[in-house]
Amino acid sequence: EDQVTQSPEALRLQEGESSSLNCSYTVSGLRGLFWYRQDPGKGPEFLFTLYSAGEEKEKERLKATLTKKESFLHITAPKPEDSATYLCAVHGASNTGKLIFGQGTTLQVKP
């Protein structure tokens, strides 16, 4: 059974304090790992897709990396506007077209 676990559940950072969010997964035949950002009262917003171990994607202060067992979302010098819940999801070969989501990490960046 495909599973996704995110840690920590919540993270508080000072502005400029870099850190990483973890997404551990088990999936038979990874076809893609996805990162989303969700602001309060809004739908998840797509950030990145990673397909194979060693792959990296970057967008502004965010960088996503992938190994065979986990993915990291690195946040460099975060700003208060980076505060949100970050969701990780996997697409596996045994669940074509369906994503399995983690519980999310809620990030708060204080000025």
Residues that bind another protein (CB under 8 A): 31-32, 34, 36, 41-46, 49, 87, 89, 91, 97-99, 101-104
The residue (of 25 and 36) whose beta carbon lies closer to another protein is: 36
The residue (of 72 and 101) whose beta carbon lies closer to another protein is: 101
The residue (of 11 and 99) whose beta carbon lies closer to another protein is: 99
Tokens 């946040």 map to which residue?
75
- d(CA 18, CA 82) in angstroms, rounded, equals 12
Backbone φ and ψ of 93, nearest 5°: -65, -25
